[in-house]
Amino acid sequence: MRYAILLMGAPYSHQASHSALRFARALVARGHRLEAVFFYHDGVHNASRLAAPPQDEPHLVDAWTALSREHEVSLQVCIAAALRRGLLDEREAARHGKEGSSVAAPFELTGLGQLIDLGTRCDRLVTFGP
């Protein structure tokens, strides 16, 4: 079965990010295909390359990155929500005259059209929010 996840919770403010990550790992462990994770609203903070949690806490950005690389999961970040919250990739930083980018690779800024596409292509779109 093909899945997509919509994540709307900030990484350390709500349980949503932890739960979505555990759910994602369980999916791939059971042989399902996780097409993508779409980060929306405060969930875009999961894509920040500037996150530096204490060593005794899980590093969610690194965990999403590892999941993406190990299982070829696309990590899509809503561009409108990201820009509102100061998260920019190199292209958007240059376009807006900002000095640096803050979106970690392999996260990519995309539009809501990609979320709609995921909803039509996948068998299940599971939402995690605050």
Domains and CATH numbers, the chain: 2-128 (3.40.1260.10)
Cα of first residue to Cα of last residue in the chain, in angstroms, is 26
Please report the pLDDT score of residue 14 as a whole number: 84
Average pLDDT in the 72-85 region?
96
Q: Is the pLDDT of residue 55 over 90?
A: no
Q: What 3-state class would DSSP assign to 84?
A: helix
pTM, to two decimals: 0.93
Residues 29, 25: Cα–Cα separation, whole Å: 6
Q: What 3-state class would DSSP assign to 60?
A: helix
Give how far the C-alpha of residue 87 lies from the chain's centroid of Cα atoms, to the nearest Å.
12
Please report the pLDDT score of residue 39 as a whole number: 98
Please give the positions annotated as active site: 78
